[in-house]
Amino acid sequence: MIDKCAWCHKDFSPRETGGSPQKFCSKDCKRCFEKSIRQWASNKYTKGALKIDELQSVHSLEIKKDER
């Protein structure tokens, strides 16, 4: 099976060893995505378009999901 990297859009063969579905072709692409999403959120927060309680709400939903 061939997938497209969510970051660079190159074709790649996802790992077959289990775990979460692979979205990126490499650790570098995943790191670029994560860095960009942090910068995006920081910019939104600085401009007042993102509130801390919104982030905390998402985080608390993740914790509850993990407790199941």
HSE, CB side, 13 Å, CA atoms: give it for residue 56.
Answer: 3
Whole-prediction pTM? 0.75
> Torsion angle, CA of 28/29/32/36, rounded to 10 degrees?
-160
CA distances from 40 to 44, 45, 58 (A): 6, 9, 16
Residue 24 · residue 5 · CB < 8 Å: yes
Residuewise pLDDT in 10s, the chain (68 residues): 899 999 999 999 999 898 899 999 999 999 999 999 999 999 999 999 999 888 888 777 655 655 55
